[in-house]
Chain A
Amino acid sequence: MITKKQVSHVAKLARLGLTKSEKEKFTEELSDILDFVNKLNEVKADKIKPTAQATGLENIMREDKGRAKSKQETDKLLELAPETEKGYVKVKAIL
Protein backbone atom coordinates (compact mmCIF):
# COMPACT_ATOMS: atom_id res chain seq x y z
CA MET A 1 0.00 0.00 0.00
CA ILE A 2 1.10 3.51 -0.73
CA THR A 3 -0.70 6.65 0.40
CA LYS A 4 -1.50 9.75 -1.62
CA LYS A 5 0.88 11.70 0.58
CA GLN A 6 3.72 9.30 -0.23
CA VAL A 7 2.92 9.56 -3.93
CA SER A 8 3.19 13.37 -3.71
CA HIS A 9 6.53 13.05 -1.93
CA VAL A 10 7.93 10.55 -4.47
CA ALA A 11 6.71 12.69 -7.40
CA LYS A 12 8.61 15.62 -5.98
CA LEU A 13 11.77 13.54 -5.53
CA ALA A 14 11.40 12.32 -9.13
CA ARG A 15 10.78 15.86 -10.40
CA LEU A 16 7.47 14.94 -12.00
CA GLY A 17 4.85 17.71 -11.85
CA LEU A 18 1.75 15.55 -11.40
CA THR A 19 -1.82 16.91 -11.26
CA LYS A 20 -4.20 15.97 -8.47
CA SER A 21 -6.02 13.37 -10.56
CA GLU A 22 -2.74 11.86 -11.74
CA LYS A 23 -1.64 11.50 -8.14
CA GLU A 24 -4.86 9.66 -7.41
CA LYS A 25 -4.36 7.36 -10.39
CA PHE A 26 -0.76 6.64 -9.38
CA THR A 27 -1.78 5.90 -5.78
CA GLU A 28 -3.96 3.08 -7.06
CA GLU A 29 -1.58 1.79 -9.74
CA LEU A 30 1.54 1.91 -7.60
CA SER A 31 -0.25 0.07 -4.80
CA ASP A 32 -1.10 -2.73 -7.23
CA ILE A 33 2.47 -2.93 -8.49
CA LEU A 34 3.87 -2.93 -4.94
CA ASP A 35 1.45 -5.71 -3.98
CA PHE A 36 2.81 -7.64 -6.94
CA VAL A 37 6.50 -7.18 -6.06
CA ASN A 38 5.80 -7.87 -2.37
CA LYS A 39 5.93 -11.52 -3.43
CA LEU A 40 9.62 -11.27 -2.57
CA ASN A 41 8.62 -11.22 1.13
CA GLU A 42 8.17 -14.99 0.81
CA VAL A 43 11.90 -15.42 0.17
CA LYS A 44 14.32 -15.77 3.06
CA ALA A 45 17.50 -14.08 1.86
CA ASP A 46 19.02 -12.38 4.93
CA LYS A 47 22.38 -14.09 4.54
CA ILE A 48 22.54 -13.86 0.74
CA LYS A 49 24.95 -11.39 -0.86
CA PRO A 50 23.30 -8.88 -3.20
CA THR A 51 24.12 -8.94 -6.94
CA ALA A 52 24.60 -5.60 -8.70
CA GLN A 53 26.57 -6.89 -11.69
CA ALA A 54 25.88 -10.36 -13.07
CA THR A 55 29.17 -11.13 -14.82
CA GLY A 56 31.28 -10.33 -11.76
CA LEU A 57 33.48 -7.59 -13.22
CA GLU A 58 34.73 -5.13 -10.64
CA ASN A 59 36.47 -1.77 -10.75
CA ILE A 60 37.33 -1.54 -14.41
CA MET A 61 39.66 1.45 -14.61
CA ARG A 62 41.02 3.66 -17.30
CA GLU A 63 43.68 6.31 -17.13
CA ASP A 64 42.27 9.50 -15.61
CA LYS A 65 43.05 11.68 -18.57
CA GLY A 66 40.87 14.26 -20.24
CA ARG A 67 40.66 14.87 -23.95
CA ALA A 68 40.02 18.23 -25.52
CA LYS A 69 36.98 18.05 -27.79
CA SER A 70 37.16 19.51 -31.25
CA LYS A 71 35.05 22.55 -32.07
CA GLN A 72 32.99 20.35 -34.34
CA GLU A 73 32.15 18.07 -31.40
CA THR A 74 31.33 20.86 -28.96
CA ASP A 75 29.23 22.65 -31.57
CA LYS A 76 27.09 19.56 -31.99
CA LEU A 77 26.49 19.40 -28.24
CA LEU A 78 25.75 23.10 -27.89
CA GLU A 79 23.37 22.84 -30.82
CA LEU A 80 21.31 20.37 -28.76
CA ALA A 81 21.03 22.62 -25.70
CA PRO A 82 17.75 24.56 -25.47
CA GLU A 83 19.51 27.79 -24.45
CA THR A 84 23.13 28.84 -24.80
CA GLU A 85 25.13 32.01 -24.43
CA LYS A 86 28.69 32.60 -25.61
CA GLY A 87 29.42 28.88 -25.85
CA TYR A 88 27.89 28.06 -22.45
CA VAL A 89 24.66 26.22 -21.62
CA LYS A 90 22.29 28.69 -19.99
CA VAL A 91 20.58 27.65 -16.74
CA LYS A 92 18.11 29.45 -14.47
CA ALA A 93 19.56 31.00 -11.33
CA ILE A 94 19.82 28.50 -8.51
CA LEU A 95 20.19 30.99 -5.66
Chain B
Amino acid sequence: MLNKLTITQAHQGLKKKEFSSVELTEAVLNRIRERNQDIGAYLTITEESALKQAIKIDKKIANNEEISVLAGIPMAVKDIILVDGIKCTAGSKILENYIAPYDATVIKRLKKQGAVIIGKTNLDEFAMGASGENSGFYPTKNPHDLERVPGGSSSGSAAAVADNLCIYALGSDTGGSIRQPASLCGVVGLKPTYGRVSRYGLIAFASSLDQIGPITKTVEDVQIVFDAIKGKDEKDSTSFFGHSERSEESNRSFANVQDDIVKNLKIGVPKEYFIKGLDPEVEKTIKQAIDKYKEMGAQVMEVSLPNSEYALACYYIIQPAEASANLARYDGIKYGLSEKGQDLLKGYLKTRKQGFGNEVQRRIMIGTYVLSAGYYDAYYLKAQKVRTLIKQDFDNVFKKVDVLMGPASPTPAFKLGEKAADPISMYLADIYTVSANLAGIPAISIPCGKTGNLPIGLQIIGNQFDDEKILQVAKLYAP
Protein backbone atom coordinates (compact mmCIF):
# COMPACT_ATOMS: atom_id res chain seq x y z
CA MET B 1 0.00 0.00 0.00
CA LEU B 2 2.62 2.52 -1.10
CA ASN B 3 -0.08 5.14 -1.74
CA LYS B 4 -0.63 5.39 2.04
CA LEU B 5 2.87 6.73 2.69
CA THR B 6 3.65 10.25 3.82
CA ILE B 7 6.14 12.42 1.91
CA THR B 8 8.88 11.68 4.44
CA GLN B 9 8.27 7.93 4.32
CA ALA B 10 8.06 7.85 0.52
CA HIS B 11 11.29 9.83 0.22
CA GLN B 12 13.13 7.43 2.54
CA GLY B 13 11.84 4.44 0.58
CA LEU B 14 12.91 5.93 -2.75
CA LYS B 15 16.34 6.81 -1.43
CA LYS B 16 16.90 3.36 0.03
CA LYS B 17 15.61 1.82 -3.23
CA GLU B 18 12.93 -0.12 -1.38
CA PHE B 19 10.60 0.80 -4.25
CA SER B 20 10.77 2.96 -7.36
CA SER B 21 8.94 6.16 -8.20
CA VAL B 22 7.14 4.25 -10.97
CA GLU B 23 5.90 1.70 -8.41
CA LEU B 24 4.80 4.48 -6.07
CA THR B 25 3.04 6.32 -8.91
CA GLU B 26 1.34 3.10 -10.09
CA ALA B 27 0.12 2.43 -6.55
CA VAL B 28 -1.52 5.85 -6.49
CA LEU B 29 -2.96 5.44 -10.00
CA ASN B 30 -4.41 2.04 -9.07
CA ARG B 31 -6.08 3.50 -6.03
CA ILE B 32 -7.51 6.30 -8.20
CA ARG B 33 -8.88 3.76 -10.71
CA GLU B 34 -10.49 1.88 -7.87
CA ARG B 35 -11.94 4.83 -5.97
CA ASN B 36 -12.33 7.97 -8.08
CA GLN B 37 -15.70 6.82 -9.42
CA ASP B 38 -17.08 6.87 -5.86
CA ILE B 39 -15.15 9.84 -4.45
CA GLY B 40 -15.07 12.17 -7.47
CA ALA B 41 -11.82 13.73 -6.27
CA TYR B 42 -10.17 14.16 -9.68
CA LEU B 43 -11.34 16.00 -12.78
CA THR B 44 -8.26 15.15 -14.86
CA ILE B 45 -5.71 12.36 -14.41
CA THR B 46 -2.33 12.93 -16.05
CA GLU B 47 -1.16 9.34 -16.06
CA GLU B 48 1.18 9.55 -19.04
CA SER B 49 3.18 12.61 -17.98
CA ALA B 50 3.24 11.38 -14.37
CA LEU B 51 4.82 8.06 -15.35
CA LYS B 52 7.28 9.82 -17.64
CA GLN B 53 8.40 12.01 -14.76
CA ALA B 54 8.60 9.00 -12.43
CA ILE B 55 10.89 7.19 -14.88
CA LYS B 56 13.14 10.26 -15.00
CA ILE B 57 13.48 10.32 -11.22
CA ASP B 58 14.08 6.56 -11.10
CA LYS B 59 17.00 7.01 -13.50
CA LYS B 60 18.48 9.65 -11.19
CA ILE B 61 18.14 7.31 -8.23
CA ALA B 62 19.70 4.45 -10.20
CA ASN B 63 22.65 6.74 -11.00
CA ASN B 64 22.97 7.52 -7.30
CA GLU B 65 22.27 11.21 -7.90
CA GLU B 66 21.01 13.32 -4.98
CA ILE B 67 17.24 13.76 -5.13
CA SER B 68 15.17 16.38 -3.37
CA VAL B 69 12.62 15.34 -0.76
CA LEU B 70 9.69 15.82 -3.17
CA ALA B 71 11.31 14.11 -6.16
CA GLY B 72 9.38 11.19 -7.58
CA ILE B 73 6.45 11.67 -5.22
CA PRO B 74 2.95 11.78 -6.76
CA MET B 75 0.88 14.84 -5.90
CA ALA B 76 -2.44 16.42 -6.89
CA VAL B 77 -3.20 20.00 -7.91
CA LYS B 78 -6.49 21.83 -7.31
CA ASP B 79 -7.91 22.48 -10.76
CA ILE B 80 -7.66 26.24 -10.39
CA ILE B 81 -3.83 26.27 -10.53
CA LEU B 82 -2.32 26.19 -14.01
CA VAL B 83 -0.11 23.31 -15.18
CA ASP B 84 1.32 23.95 -18.64
CA GLY B 85 -0.41 21.92 -21.34
CA ILE B 86 -3.02 20.42 -18.97
CA LYS B 87 -6.71 21.32 -18.89
CA CYS B 88 -7.60 23.79 -16.13
CA THR B 89 -11.35 24.20 -15.58
CA ALA B 90 -11.65 25.99 -12.21
CA GLY B 91 -14.59 23.58 -11.81
CA SER B 92 -16.54 25.67 -14.33
CA LYS B 93 -18.27 24.92 -17.62
CA ILE B 94 -16.97 28.25 -18.87
CA LEU B 95 -13.42 26.81 -18.82
CA GLU B 96 -14.38 23.22 -19.67
CA ASN B 97 -11.90 23.04 -22.57
CA TYR B 98 -9.27 25.53 -21.40
CA ILE B 99 -5.69 24.26 -21.73
CA ALA B 100 -3.27 26.10 -19.45
CA PRO B 101 -0.66 27.94 -21.54
CA TYR B 102 1.96 28.15 -18.77
CA ASP B 103 2.95 26.83 -15.32
CA ALA B 104 1.91 28.61 -12.12
CA THR B 105 4.94 29.64 -10.04
CA VAL B 106 4.15 26.99 -7.40
CA ILE B 107 4.07 24.33 -10.15
CA LYS B 108 7.35 25.57 -11.59
CA ARG B 109 8.91 25.27 -8.14
CA LEU B 110 7.52 21.78 -7.55
CA LYS B 111 8.59 20.59 -11.00
CA LYS B 112 12.09 21.83 -10.28
CA GLN B 113 12.05 19.59 -7.21
CA GLY B 114 11.08 16.63 -9.37
CA ALA B 115 7.44 16.35 -8.24
CA VAL B 116 5.18 13.88 -10.07
CA ILE B 117 1.89 15.59 -10.93
CA ILE B 118 -0.78 12.92 -10.96
CA GLY B 119 -3.86 14.99 -11.78
CA LYS B 120 -6.13 17.97 -11.23
CA THR B 121 -8.65 17.88 -8.40
CA ASN B 122 -12.32 18.80 -8.23
CA LEU B 123 -13.55 21.97 -6.54
CA ASP B 124 -16.49 24.27 -6.08
CA GLU B 125 -16.77 26.37 -9.24
CA PHE B 126 -14.14 29.14 -9.13
CA ALA B 127 -13.49 28.07 -5.49
CA MET B 128 -16.88 29.41 -4.41
CA GLY B 129 -18.37 27.03 -1.89
CA ALA B 130 -17.88 25.07 1.30
CA SER B 131 -19.06 21.60 0.23
CA GLY B 132 -17.76 20.74 -3.25
CA GLU B 133 -21.36 20.61 -4.47
CA ASN B 134 -20.92 23.73 -6.60
CA SER B 135 -18.54 21.92 -8.97
CA GLY B 136 -19.72 22.40 -12.54
CA PHE B 137 -19.01 18.70 -13.19
CA TYR B 138 -19.79 16.42 -10.24
CA PRO B 139 -19.63 16.65 -6.45
CA THR B 140 -16.80 15.13 -4.43
CA LYS B 141 -17.71 12.76 -1.58
CA ASN B 142 -16.14 12.54 1.86
CA PRO B 143 -14.04 9.34 2.03
CA HIS B 144 -15.08 8.85 5.67
CA ASP B 145 -18.78 8.75 4.71
CA LEU B 146 -19.83 8.83 1.07
CA GLU B 147 -23.18 10.44 1.91
CA ARG B 148 -21.37 13.47 3.29
CA VAL B 149 -19.51 16.39 1.76
CA PRO B 150 -15.72 16.69 1.99
CA GLY B 151 -15.95 20.45 2.58
CA GLY B 152 -14.81 23.01 0.06
CA SER B 153 -13.73 24.55 -2.01
CA SER B 154 -10.54 22.42 -2.17
CA SER B 155 -12.85 19.40 -1.96
CA GLY B 156 -10.99 17.09 -4.35
CA SER B 157 -7.56 17.88 -2.90
CA ALA B 158 -8.64 17.18 0.70
CA ALA B 159 -10.57 14.02 -0.25
CA ALA B 160 -7.67 12.75 -2.39
CA VAL B 161 -5.19 13.13 0.49
CA ALA B 162 -7.61 11.54 2.98
CA ASP B 163 -8.28 8.56 0.68
CA ASN B 164 -4.63 8.08 -0.34
CA LEU B 165 -5.33 9.01 -3.97
CA CYS B 166 -2.10 11.03 -3.81
CA ILE B 167 0.69 11.60 -1.31
CA TYR B 168 -0.07 15.31 -0.94
CA ALA B 169 -1.97 18.07 -2.72
CA LEU B 170 -2.16 21.80 -3.33
CA GLY B 171 -5.27 23.82 -2.52
CA SER B 172 -6.23 27.47 -2.39
CA ASP B 173 -7.88 29.34 0.48
CA THR B 174 -9.89 32.55 0.08
CA GLY B 175 -12.12 32.20 3.14
CA GLY B 176 -11.31 28.73 4.47
CA SER B 177 -11.11 26.60 1.32
CA ILE B 178 -8.02 24.71 2.52
CA ARG B 179 -8.69 24.52 6.26
CA GLN B 180 -12.40 23.63 6.28
CA PRO B 181 -12.13 20.63 3.89
CA ALA B 182 -8.92 19.54 5.69
CA SER B 183 -10.92 19.58 8.92
CA LEU B 184 -13.86 17.64 7.44
CA CYS B 185 -11.58 15.05 5.80
CA GLY B 186 -9.17 14.58 8.72
CA VAL B 187 -6.01 15.85 7.02
CA VAL B 188 -3.61 18.76 7.55
CA GLY B 189 -4.21 22.02 5.64
CA LEU B 190 -2.18 25.24 5.81
CA LYS B 191 -3.22 28.69 4.66
CA PRO B 192 0.00 30.70 4.76
CA THR B 193 0.32 34.42 5.48
CA TYR B 194 -1.02 36.43 2.54
CA GLY B 195 1.95 36.83 0.20
CA ARG B 196 4.18 34.00 1.49
CA VAL B 197 3.28 31.94 -1.60
CA SER B 198 3.04 33.36 -5.12
CA ARG B 199 -0.40 33.27 -6.78
CA TYR B 200 0.94 33.65 -10.30
CA GLY B 201 -0.99 31.04 -12.27
CA LEU B 202 -3.78 30.70 -9.70
CA ILE B 203 -7.07 31.61 -11.41
CA ALA B 204 -8.08 34.77 -9.53
CA PHE B 205 -11.14 34.72 -7.27
CA ALA B 206 -10.82 37.46 -4.60
CA SER B 207 -7.34 38.86 -4.97
CA SER B 208 -6.88 40.51 -1.57
CA LEU B 209 -7.76 37.19 0.12
CA ASP B 210 -6.56 34.33 -2.15
CA GLN B 211 -3.62 32.22 -1.01
CA ILE B 212 -2.22 28.85 -2.17
CA GLY B 213 -1.26 26.25 0.41
CA PRO B 214 -0.53 22.53 0.94
CA ILE B 215 -2.87 19.75 2.07
CA THR B 216 -0.99 16.76 3.52
CA LYS B 217 -1.20 13.75 5.83
CA THR B 218 1.14 15.15 8.53
CA VAL B 219 2.40 18.51 9.81
CA GLU B 220 5.94 17.49 8.90
CA ASP B 221 4.79 17.06 5.30
CA VAL B 222 2.98 20.41 5.26
CA GLN B 223 6.24 22.09 6.22
CA ILE B 224 8.14 20.30 3.44
CA VAL B 225 5.68 21.44 0.76
CA PHE B 226 5.44 24.96 2.18
CA ASP B 227 9.24 25.26 2.11
CA ALA B 228 9.24 24.18 -1.54
CA ILE B 229 6.61 26.66 -2.77
CA LYS B 230 7.11 29.75 -0.58
CA GLY B 231 9.06 32.91 -1.31
CA LYS B 232 8.98 36.09 -3.31
CA ASP B 233 8.09 35.93 -6.99
CA GLU B 234 8.45 38.91 -9.29
CA LYS B 235 5.29 37.77 -11.07
CA ASP B 236 3.12 38.31 -7.96
CA SER B 237 3.64 41.81 -6.58
CA THR B 238 2.01 40.86 -3.26
CA SER B 239 4.55 38.10 -2.57
CA PHE B 240 7.54 38.45 -0.27
CA PHE B 241 10.11 36.48 1.69
CA GLY B 242 9.32 35.47 5.28
CA HIS B 243 11.60 35.97 8.29
CA SER B 244 13.17 32.54 7.96
CA GLU B 245 14.15 33.13 4.35
CA ARG B 246 15.64 36.52 5.14
CA SER B 247 17.66 35.68 8.22
CA GLU B 248 20.36 33.09 8.66
CA GLU B 249 18.75 31.47 11.66
CA SER B 250 16.14 29.13 10.40
CA ASN B 251 13.14 28.72 12.66
CA ARG B 252 13.34 25.03 12.02
CA SER B 253 16.14 24.55 14.56
CA PHE B 254 13.31 24.79 17.11
CA ALA B 255 12.77 21.07 16.65
CA ASN B 256 15.60 20.44 19.11
CA VAL B 257 14.21 22.63 21.81
CA GLN B 258 10.57 21.60 21.81
CA ASP B 259 10.41 21.50 25.60
CA ASP B 260 11.37 25.14 25.75
CA ILE B 261 8.85 26.18 23.13
CA VAL B 262 5.93 24.57 24.87
CA LYS B 263 6.88 25.99 28.29
CA ASN B 264 7.09 29.50 26.88
CA LEU B 265 4.03 29.06 24.68
CA LYS B 266 1.03 31.28 25.33
CA ILE B 267 -2.16 30.06 23.70
CA GLY B 268 -5.17 32.34 23.35
CA VAL B 269 -8.65 30.86 23.10
CA PRO B 270 -11.03 33.43 21.59
CA LYS B 271 -14.28 33.35 23.55
CA GLU B 272 -16.16 34.44 20.41
CA TYR B 273 -15.25 31.11 18.76
CA PHE B 274 -17.28 29.07 21.26
CA ILE B 275 -20.77 30.31 20.60
CA LYS B 276 -24.22 29.16 19.45
CA GLY B 277 -24.00 27.15 16.25
CA LEU B 278 -20.90 25.26 17.36
CA ASP B 279 -21.60 21.52 17.47
CA PRO B 280 -21.22 20.30 21.11
CA GLU B 281 -19.10 17.30 20.06
CA VAL B 282 -16.77 19.60 18.09
CA GLU B 283 -16.54 21.94 21.09
CA LYS B 284 -15.67 19.08 23.44
CA THR B 285 -12.99 17.67 21.13
CA ILE B 286 -11.38 21.07 20.51
CA LYS B 287 -11.25 21.82 24.24
CA GLN B 288 -9.65 18.43 24.89
CA ALA B 289 -7.01 19.18 22.26
CA ILE B 290 -6.23 22.54 23.86
CA ASP B 291 -6.01 20.81 27.26
CA LYS B 292 -3.29 18.57 25.85
CA TYR B 293 -1.16 21.66 25.22
CA LYS B 294 -1.82 22.72 28.79
CA GLU B 295 -0.66 19.32 30.03
CA MET B 296 2.52 19.74 27.99
CA GLY B 297 3.19 22.95 29.89
CA ALA B 298 1.73 25.70 27.70
CA GLN B 299 -0.12 28.62 29.19
CA VAL B 300 -3.73 28.81 28.00
CA MET B 301 -5.84 31.94 28.42
CA GLU B 302 -9.19 33.18 27.22
CA VAL B 303 -8.95 36.18 24.88
CA SER B 304 -11.43 38.32 22.99
CA LEU B 305 -11.72 39.27 19.33
CA PRO B 306 -14.67 41.63 19.73
CA ASN B 307 -15.33 42.18 16.02
CA SER B 308 -15.48 38.45 15.17
CA GLU B 309 -19.25 38.59 14.83
CA TYR B 310 -18.86 40.96 11.86
CA ALA B 311 -16.23 38.95 10.00
CA LEU B 312 -18.60 36.86 7.91
CA ALA B 313 -20.70 39.84 6.79
CA CYS B 314 -17.52 41.79 6.00
CA TYR B 315 -16.19 38.83 3.99
CA TYR B 316 -19.43 38.37 2.04
CA ILE B 317 -19.12 41.94 0.75
CA ILE B 318 -15.41 42.15 -0.02
CA GLN B 319 -15.09 38.69 -1.54
CA PRO B 320 -18.00 38.90 -4.06
CA ALA B 321 -16.96 42.46 -4.92
CA GLU B 322 -13.47 41.31 -5.89
CA ALA B 323 -14.86 38.19 -7.59
CA SER B 324 -17.25 40.23 -9.76
CA ALA B 325 -14.30 42.27 -11.03
CA ASN B 326 -12.02 39.25 -11.54
CA LEU B 327 -14.68 37.24 -13.37
CA ALA B 328 -15.38 40.07 -15.82
CA ARG B 329 -12.58 38.59 -17.94
CA TYR B 330 -14.77 35.66 -19.05
CA ASP B 331 -16.20 37.33 -22.12
CA GLY B 332 -16.19 34.51 -24.68
CA ILE B 333 -13.61 36.32 -26.80
CA LYS B 334 -10.13 35.53 -25.49
CA TYR B 335 -10.67 31.97 -24.25
CA GLY B 336 -13.28 29.67 -22.76
CA LEU B 337 -16.91 29.12 -23.69
CA SER B 338 -18.15 31.40 -26.46
CA GLU B 339 -21.86 31.67 -27.26
CA LYS B 340 -22.76 33.61 -30.37
CA GLY B 341 -25.08 36.62 -30.21
CA GLN B 342 -26.33 39.11 -32.82
CA ASP B 343 -24.01 41.72 -31.38
CA LEU B 344 -21.18 42.00 -28.88
CA LEU B 345 -23.44 42.61 -25.85
CA LYS B 346 -25.78 39.69 -26.63
CA GLY B 347 -22.72 37.43 -26.97
CA TYR B 348 -21.52 38.45 -23.49
CA LEU B 349 -24.96 37.95 -21.95
CA LYS B 350 -25.38 34.48 -23.43
CA THR B 351 -21.82 33.26 -22.78
CA ARG B 352 -21.78 34.27 -19.13
CA LYS B 353 -25.30 33.03 -18.46
CA GLN B 354 -24.51 29.63 -20.01
CA GLY B 355 -21.02 29.26 -18.60
CA PHE B 356 -21.40 30.24 -14.94
CA GLY B 357 -23.26 28.12 -12.39
CA ASN B 358 -25.77 29.38 -9.80
CA GLU B 359 -23.45 30.27 -6.96
CA VAL B 360 -21.00 32.07 -9.23
CA GLN B 361 -23.81 34.12 -10.77
CA ARG B 362 -25.13 34.92 -7.29
CA ARG B 363 -21.75 36.22 -6.16
CA ILE B 364 -21.20 38.22 -9.33
CA MET B 365 -24.60 39.84 -8.76
CA ILE B 366 -23.88 40.68 -5.09
CA GLY B 367 -20.41 41.95 -5.95
CA THR B 368 -21.64 44.11 -8.80
CA TYR B 369 -24.39 45.53 -6.60
CA VAL B 370 -22.13 46.48 -3.67
CA LEU B 371 -19.70 48.20 -6.05
CA SER B 372 -22.37 50.02 -8.06
CA ALA B 373 -22.94 53.77 -7.88
CA GLY B 374 -24.88 54.73 -4.78
CA TYR B 375 -24.05 51.55 -2.83
CA TYR B 376 -20.24 51.56 -2.84
CA ASP B 377 -19.86 53.61 0.36
CA ALA B 378 -22.58 51.84 2.29
CA TYR B 379 -21.33 48.35 1.51
CA TYR B 380 -17.84 48.03 0.03
CA LEU B 381 -16.13 50.94 1.79
CA LYS B 382 -17.86 50.08 5.07
CA ALA B 383 -16.66 46.48 4.79
CA GLN B 384 -13.09 47.64 4.18
CA LYS B 385 -13.29 49.72 7.36
CA VAL B 386 -14.62 46.80 9.36
CA ARG B 387 -11.76 44.77 7.89
CA THR B 388 -9.38 47.21 9.60
CA LEU B 389 -11.13 46.61 12.95
CA ILE B 390 -10.90 42.83 12.51
CA LYS B 391 -7.19 43.11 11.74
CA GLN B 392 -6.71 45.35 14.81
CA ASP B 393 -8.36 42.73 17.03
CA PHE B 394 -5.67 40.25 15.96
CA ASP B 395 -2.87 42.82 16.35
CA ASN B 396 -4.01 43.43 19.93
CA VAL B 397 -4.40 39.83 20.88
CA PHE B 398 -1.01 38.80 19.46
CA LYS B 399 0.64 41.27 21.84
CA LYS B 400 -0.47 38.89 24.60
CA VAL B 401 -0.32 35.40 23.09
CA ASP B 402 1.75 33.46 20.52
CA VAL B 403 -1.07 31.61 18.79
CA LEU B 404 -4.84 31.27 18.88
CA MET B 405 -6.69 27.96 18.94
CA GLY B 406 -10.25 27.03 18.11
CA PRO B 407 -12.34 24.98 15.69
CA ALA B 408 -11.77 25.15 11.93
CA SER B 409 -15.40 24.29 11.18
CA PRO B 410 -18.49 24.66 13.38
CA THR B 411 -19.68 21.13 12.51
CA PRO B 412 -18.26 17.86 11.23
CA ALA B 413 -19.00 16.89 7.59
CA PHE B 414 -22.67 17.49 6.72
CA LYS B 415 -24.80 15.51 4.26
CA LEU B 416 -24.82 16.25 0.53
CA GLY B 417 -27.80 18.43 -0.26
CA GLU B 418 -28.28 19.49 3.37
CA LYS B 419 -27.33 23.14 2.82
CA ALA B 420 -27.50 23.32 -0.96
CA ALA B 421 -30.85 25.13 -1.12
CA ASP B 422 -29.96 27.88 1.36
CA PRO B 423 -26.93 29.99 0.39
CA ILE B 424 -26.63 31.67 3.81
CA SER B 425 -26.51 28.40 5.77
CA MET B 426 -23.66 27.35 3.47
CA TYR B 427 -21.88 30.69 4.09
CA LEU B 428 -22.00 30.00 7.85
CA ALA B 429 -19.64 27.03 7.31
CA ASP B 430 -16.89 29.65 6.86
CA ILE B 431 -17.52 31.36 10.21
CA TYR B 432 -14.20 30.36 11.85
CA THR B 433 -11.99 30.66 8.81
CA VAL B 434 -12.71 33.96 7.00
CA SER B 435 -11.08 36.19 9.63
CA ALA B 436 -7.60 34.84 8.86
CA ASN B 437 -8.01 35.81 5.19
CA LEU B 438 -9.34 39.27 6.05
CA ALA B 439 -6.36 39.86 8.37
CA GLY B 440 -3.83 38.19 6.05
CA ILE B 441 -2.60 35.91 8.84
CA PRO B 442 -1.54 32.23 8.68
CA ALA B 443 -3.71 29.40 9.99
CA ILE B 444 -3.59 25.61 9.92
CA SER B 445 -6.14 22.87 10.55
CA ILE B 446 -4.85 19.60 12.06
CA PRO B 447 -6.91 16.50 12.85
CA CYS B 448 -7.58 16.31 16.62
CA GLY B 449 -10.27 13.68 17.01
CA LYS B 450 -13.51 12.30 15.64
CA THR B 451 -17.19 12.21 16.38
CA GLY B 452 -18.37 8.80 15.23
CA ASN B 453 -16.30 8.29 12.10
CA LEU B 454 -16.22 11.99 11.19
CA PRO B 455 -12.96 13.92 11.71
CA ILE B 456 -12.66 17.21 13.60
CA GLY B 457 -9.94 19.79 12.92
CA LEU B 458 -8.16 22.04 15.42
CA GLN B 459 -7.36 25.45 13.93
CA ILE B 460 -4.14 27.15 15.03
CA ILE B 461 -3.89 30.81 13.99
CA GLY B 462 -0.73 32.91 14.11
CA ASN B 463 0.28 36.52 13.64
CA GLN B 464 1.31 37.76 10.18
CA PHE B 465 4.59 36.12 9.04
CA ASP B 466 4.47 33.59 11.92
CA ASP B 467 3.81 30.64 9.58
CA GLU B 468 6.82 28.76 10.94
CA LYS B 469 5.66 29.29 14.50
CA ILE B 470 2.20 27.79 13.94
CA LEU B 471 3.81 24.83 12.19
CA GLN B 472 6.01 24.21 15.23
CA VAL B 473 3.06 24.46 17.57
CA ALA B 474 1.10 22.07 15.35
CA LYS B 475 4.00 19.60 15.37
CA LEU B 476 3.87 19.45 19.18
CA TYR B 477 0.39 17.96 18.89
CA ALA B 478 0.84 15.78 15.84
CA PRO B 479 4.48 15.49 14.80
Contact = CB atoms under 8 A, between A and B. Distances in A.
A13 B325 CA distance: 11
B314 interface: yes
A77 B423 contact: no
Contacts of B309: 39
Interface residues of B, number: 67
A48 B389 contact: yes
B264 to A, nearest CB: 26
Interface string B327-340: 01001111110100
B445 interface: no
A65 to B, nearest CB: 12
A83 to B, nearest CB: 7
A68 interface: no
A14 B386 contact: no
Contact of A16 (B101, B346, B347, B356): B356
Contacts of A15: 328, 331, 345, 348-349, 352
A60 B240 CA distance: 11
Given A76-B101, A77-B101, A16 B349 contact: yes
A50 B365 contact: no
Given A14-B324, A40-B313, A80-B98, A54 B194 contact: yes
Interface in B246-274: none
Contact of B334 (A7, A26, A89): A89
Given A40-B383, A80-B335, A17 B350 contact: yes
Contacts of A76: 99, 101-102
Interface stretch (B36-44, B120-128, B366-374): B366-374
A2 B385 CA distance: 23
A62 to B, nearest CB: 7
Interface in A11-66: 11, 13-18, 26, 29-30, 32-34, 36-40, 42-43, 45, 48-55, 57, 60, 62
Given A29-B423, A43-B389, A60 B237 contact: yes
Contact of A49 (B237, B383, B388, B427): B388
Contacts of A50: 381, 384-385, 387-388
B464 A30 contact: no
Contacts of B101: 73, 76-77, 80
Given A82-B338, A94-B344, A36 B316 contact: yes
Interface of B: 98-99, 101-102, 193-195, 208, 234, 237-238, 240, 307, 309-310, 313-314, 316-317, 324, 328, 331-336, 338, 341, 343-350, 352-353, 356, 361-362, 364-366, 368-369, 372, 379, 381-389, 391, 423-424, 427, 438-441, 464
Given A26-B361, A54-B391, A54-B464, 6 more contacts: A14-B365, A17-B349, A18-B353, A39-B310, A40-B310, A48-B386
